[in-house]
Structure 1
Amino acid sequence: MGSSNFFDFWKKLCPFIVTAKPMTDLCWTCQLNNTLIFRSANLDEENKCERVKQQENHLFIVQQERSLYNKMVGNAKRACQENVITELCQNSPCSRNIMMHYSFDYAQQVHLPSNPLQPGPIYFLVPRKYGLFGVCCEGIPRQVNFLVDEAHLISKGSNAVISYLHYFLNNYGTGETDAHFHCDNCSGQKKNRFVLWYFAWRVAVGLHKSVSLNFLIAGHTKFAPDWCFGLLKRAFKRNLVPAQSVLETVVNESSSVNIAQVVGYEDGTTVVPVSDWQAFFKNSCKPLPGIKKYQHFRFDDAHPGSVFVKEHSESAETEFNILMSDSSFPRGAPDVLAPPGLPLQRQQYLYKSIRKYVDEPFKDTVCPNPDVMPNVEQDETVIITETRKDSDGHERVKRGRGKGSQRGQTGGGRRGCGRGHSRGRGQGENNGV
C-alpha cells in the first residue's frame, strides 16, 4: 500500500488518532488544567465545572494580555503612518509627541562556521558561538538584531539587556515621548529590579515622558521578535556562513524587517559597549517586593521614582517608590565593562578542532592561532556541561565532573551529544568539553 492510500484509510478508520502538530512555548498551566479535565470523567458535575472554570479563567487572562499587546501594536502602526516613519534612524529623545511600541527578546545562539551541508565530524564539536538579541519596533516594523560574539559576551543578564536597549533607543529610536515595551517572563534577564530601575531612570532624566514595561503570560509569549528570528534562522540555515561578517550580510538580506548590529568584532573591537548598570543604580534604588507576580509596570514624569504595577491588564494599579530615602537617580553614565575575550584554552580548542572547517579567507579571523598552546593532559578532570531549555525557551546549564579523555575533551556536541570518559553528557564550554 502506498503512503497516500495508507493515510486515506487511516483518516477513514481512525479519525480520532491524529499526529500532533509542531508546538512551541507550551504553557505548563494549560497542560496541568487539561490533565485535570481529562481525568475528571468519573467525578461529579461540581468538580468537573470547577476544573473547566479554572482553565477558562486562565485562558481569559491570556486573551486579555494578547488583546492589550495587539492594541499597542496597532496604535504604534497608526503613529508611524501619520508621521511617515518608515525606517529606524537616530532621533533626539522626546522629539516626537507620539507613542511607540517595542518588543525585545533573546534567540537561541548560532555557531560559526555554519554549512548547510554539515560535515559529519563537526556535529560533535563546539564551533564559535554567537548570541542573538533582538529589539523590534513594531510600528514600522523593523528589528535590530545584536550579534554577540562569545569573546564579547559578558553575560545574558540585566547588564547586557539594558546596554543593548540603551544603544537601540539612542541610535534607532523614533524619538517618541511615550514608549511601551513587551517581553517574556524571564526573570534572570528582563523581569528584575535593574530593568525597572533603568526605565524609571529614563523617565526621571527626561529621555521619555512615560514608559510601560509589559510581560506576556509564561507559555503564551509568541510575539514579533519570534517572527523576525524565524526569518533570520531560515536564511541562516540556507547559506554558508563562515564568519561574523557573512552572518551580518545574511541577517540584513534575510528580510526587509531585519537589521544586523554587531556588538564586537573578532579582533576585540567593541561597537556596542556593555555597562555596569547594576552598580550604577545600587546605591540609589531599592527592590520592588513581589516583582514576579506583576505583569505590568508603568513610569511617568509626574511621579519620578515611582512605579505603578498591575497583576493583569484589568487589575487595579498599585504605586511603589523604588528610590531609597533621601536619594535621587544617579547622573552621568555607568562604567563600561571590558569584554572578557576568549580564554586561552578556548582559543586552543578553536584552532585545533574548528579551524579546518573554516574557509581559507576567514581562518585567522574565526580561529586565530593563540600565542601559547600548552599541552592538555588526556586524563585530567574536566567540567562537563549539559544545556537544556526551560518552559520559557531559555537555556539552563547543568554541570558535572568526569574524566576527560581525548574523546571527551573534543566532544561536547552542539546538541548535547558530547561524552566524557566516565560520566556526564553535555555541550561543553571554553575548554571544548
Structure 2
Amino acid sequence: MNIGNDDDNNKKNMELELSSRFDKNTKGPVKNMCLGKSVPAKKQPDLEMVCKCYDDGCKNIEGEEKKKLFDNFYSLDLNAQGSFPFNKKYPDNQVLYKYYCRVFKKEFPNLSFRRPRTDTCKTCDKYACVIKKDKNASPAVSDELQLHHRKAEKAQTILKGDCAFSQQPGSDTCTITKDLEKVLFVPTLTHSDMYYMRQLSVYNFSVHIADTNEAFMCVRNEIEASRGSNKIMSCLLKVLNSNVTEKEKLNIWCDNCTGQNKNRVEIFLMLFLTSIAVFTEITMKFLVSGHSYLPNDRHFAQIERRRRLKKCFVPEDIEQLIRDTRSIQPYKVVKMEPTHFLNLQRDADSLISTTKLSISTLSQIRVTKDNPGYVFF
C-alpha cells in the first residue's frame, strides 16, 4: 500500500486550500469571502422593463394584424417565446423565460395567442399576401378585404336571425343547415401496414334543425353511394320526409360548394317540393366562401373528439359512435340504404338549365308555390 503517497497528496491539497484564502499581494486573508453567509438571490428586473420588452416584441406585427382584427388576440406568428428578446437585446440584464411568462400572465390577463387556422379563406389569404408584399399597396386592396369581411359577417348575422326567428312561437318558417363531414375511414388500425392499404370510406351528411336544435346524420359508405349532388339531395329528401316540421316556409343554409349545393339538382328538388304543396316557399341561402361556419361544424367537431377515443372497424361502429357522441339530445342517425337514393339528376338535366342563371355567383335562391317554375335570386 502507498500510504506515504496518500499523505503527500492530502498535504498538498490542504496547502492549496489554505493558499486560496490569502491574498498573494498583501500576504493577508482575502476580504469579503462571505464565509458562513448565504449567497444573495439574483435580482430580477422590475416589471416595467419586462412589459417594455414585451411591447417591443409586439411591434413586429405588420399590416392588418397590427389592428387586432380579433379582440384581445395578437399575431399568429407571435407567441410568448417569440416576444422574449431579453437575452439578445439586454445581455447585461438576463431574465428567465419562466419569470417572463409569469409577468405576462399577471400583467396582461386579457391577451392570448390564437392557434393557427388550418381551413382559411382563399380570398383573405390572397389580399393578405398582396398587403404583406407591398406595404404601400393601394387602399383599394384593403377596402376590398374589409368589404369581404363585412359580407361574411352580414351572412352570419342573417343566419343567426333566421335561426332565432324560427324558434319563436307562432313562426311559420323552418330553418335548417346542411353540410357534409370529411371522409371517415374504417377500419381504424395503428400498425404501419395500414398506411399503404386502402380503407373503406364512410360519408356523413348532417342536417341541423334550428327550430328544435336536432341533428340528423345520414350515414352511408362508398360502396352504397358516392358524394355527388344526386346522393346529397336524396339524403336531404329522406330527412324532410321524417316529419321534421309542419311549417309552410323553409330556409336552407349551406356553403358555396357547387358540386353539393349550387346545382340544378337542388333547384329541381326545391321546385318539386313547392309544386306538390309541401312548402309554400323555399329559400336557399349561401354563406361566403371561406367563412361558412355552420352549426353542423360543431357537431362534426364533437364526433371527431369522440372518434379519437374509440376505434371503429366497420361502418356500423361509426353509426354507433355518432349516437353515443352526445348524451343530451343525441344525434339521430339515418342509415341510408341503396333504395333511398333517387335519380334526380336525369330529370333535372332535362328540365332545368342554369346557363343564364350564373348560379355560382348567387347568394340566395328562392322558389314559391304561387310562381311554379320560376326561380328568384
TM-score in same-fold range (> 0.5): yes
CA distance in 2, matches of 1:286, 1:35: 38
Spell out, residue by residue over 1:31-63, the C-alpha distance to the aligned partner (whole angstroms, 9 max, x if none): 1222222344345xxx2x222212122112112
Spell out, residue by residue over 1:360-416, the C-alpha distance to the aligned partner (whole angstroms, 9 max, x if none): xxxxxxxxxxxxxxxxxxxxxxxxxxxxxxxxxxxxxxxxxxxxxxxxxxxxxxxxx
Out of 177, 192, 199, the position equivalent to 1:127 is: 199
Spell out, residue by residue over 1:306-339, the C-alpha distance to the aligned partner (whole angstroms, 9 max, x if none): 1110xxxxxxxxxxxxxxxxxxxxxxxxxxxxxx
> Aligned residue pairs: how many?
273
- Extract unaligned runs of 5+ from structure 2: 1-49, 61-76, 80-113
Out of 120, 125, 140, the position equivalent to 1:26 is: 120
Matched residue of 2:372: which SS?
A: coil
Where does residue 38 of structure 1 map in the other structure?
132
Where does residue 229 of structure 1 map in the other structure?
300
Residue range with higher mean Cα deviation, 20-29 or 251-260: 20-29
Structure 2 matches for 1:376-395, cutoff 5 A?
none
Where does residue 334 of structure 2 map in the other structure?
261
> Is this contact kept in 2: 1:73–1:101, CA < 8 A?
yes
CA distance in 1, matches of 2:163, 2:375: 23
> Is this contact kept in 2: 1:182–1:216, CA < 8 A?
yes
Distance 1:22 1:42, change over 3 A: closer
Where does residue 351 of structure 2 map in the other structure?
284
> Is this contact kept in 2: 1:177–1:208, CA < 8 A?
yes
CA distance in 2, matches of 1:230, 1:122: 24
> Is this contact kept in 2: 1:203–1:300, CA < 8 A?
yes
Distance 1:41 1:175, change over 3 A: same
- How many Å apart are 1:151 and its aligned residue? 1.5
Where does residue 64 of structure 1 map in the other structure?
154
Structure 2 matches for 1:134-149, cutoff 5 A?
134-149=206-221
Amino acid aligned to 2:350: N
Structure 2 matches for 1:277-426, cutoff 5 A?
277-287=344-354, 289=356, 290-309=358-377
Spell out, residue by residue over 1:102-127, the C-alpha distance to the aligned partner (whole angstroms, 9 max, x if none): 11111111112225xx2232233222
Spell out, residue by residue over 1:127-179, the C-alpha distance to the aligned partner (whole angstroms, 9 max, x if none): 222111111112221211111112202x3112101100110000152122100
> Is this contact kept in 1: 2:264–2:349, CA < 8 A?
no
CA distance in 2, matches of 1:12, 1:50: 30
Distance 1:11 1:274, change over 3 A: farther
Matched residue of 1:190: which SS?
A: coil
Distance 1:307 1:253, change over 3 A: same
> Is this contact kept in 2: 1:99–1:179, CA < 8 A?
yes
Residue range with higher mean Cα deviation, 27-36 or 297-306: 27-36
> Is this contact kept in 2: 1:108–1:131, CA < 8 A?
yes
Q: 1:104 aligned to 2:178?
A: yes
Distance 1:216 1:24, change over 3 A: farther
Distance 1:113 1:41, change over 3 A: closer
Q: 1:274 aligned to 2:314?
A: no
Structure number having the greater helix percentage: 2
> Is this contact kept in 1: 2:265–2:345, CA < 8 A?
yes
> Is this contact kept in 2: 1:232–1:258, CA < 8 A?
no
Amino acid aligned to 1:259: K
- How many Å apart are 1:212 and its aligned residue? 0.3
CA distance in 1, matches of 2:174, 2:136: 52
- How many Å apart are 1:257 and its aligned residue? 4.6
- How many Å apart are 1:11 and its aligned residue? 5.6
> Is this contact kept in 1: 2:264–2:348, CA < 8 A?
no
Residue range with higher mean Cα deviation, 233-242 or 277-286: 277-286
Where does residue 141 of structure 2 map in the other structure?
51
CA distance in 1, matches of 2:237, 2:188: 31
Where does residue 316 of structure 1 map in the other structure?
none
CA distance in 1, matches of 2:375, 2:224: 33
Amino acid aligned to 2:241: N
Matched residue of 2:351: which SS?
A: coil
CA distance in 1, matches of 2:293, 2:118: 9
CA distance in 1, matches of 2:142, 2:315: 51
Identical counterparts, % of pairs: 18
CA RMSD of aligned residues (A): 2.3
CA distance in 1, matches of 2:262, 2:296: 17
Amino acid aligned to 1:220: H
Misfit runs of 4+, over 6 Å? none
CA distance in 2, matches of 1:101, 1:76: 6
CA distance in 1, matches of 2:182, 2:140: 39
Structure number having the greater strand percentage: 1
Give the number of the structure whose alpha-carbon radius of gyration is greater: 2
Out of 275, 278, 291, the position equivalent to 1:207 is: 278
TM-score, length of structure 2 as denominator length: 0.67
Out of 166, 171, 175, the position equivalent to 2:237 is: 166
Matched residue of 2:352: which SS?
A: coil
> Is this contact kept in 2: 1:193–1:288, CA < 8 A?
no
Amino acid aligned to 1:114: T
> Is this contact kept in 1: 2:253–2:285, CA < 8 A?
yes
Amino acid aligned to 2:283: S
- Extract unaligned runs of 5+ from structure 1: 1-7, 84-96, 265-269, 310-433
Distance 1:205 1:24, change over 3 A: farther
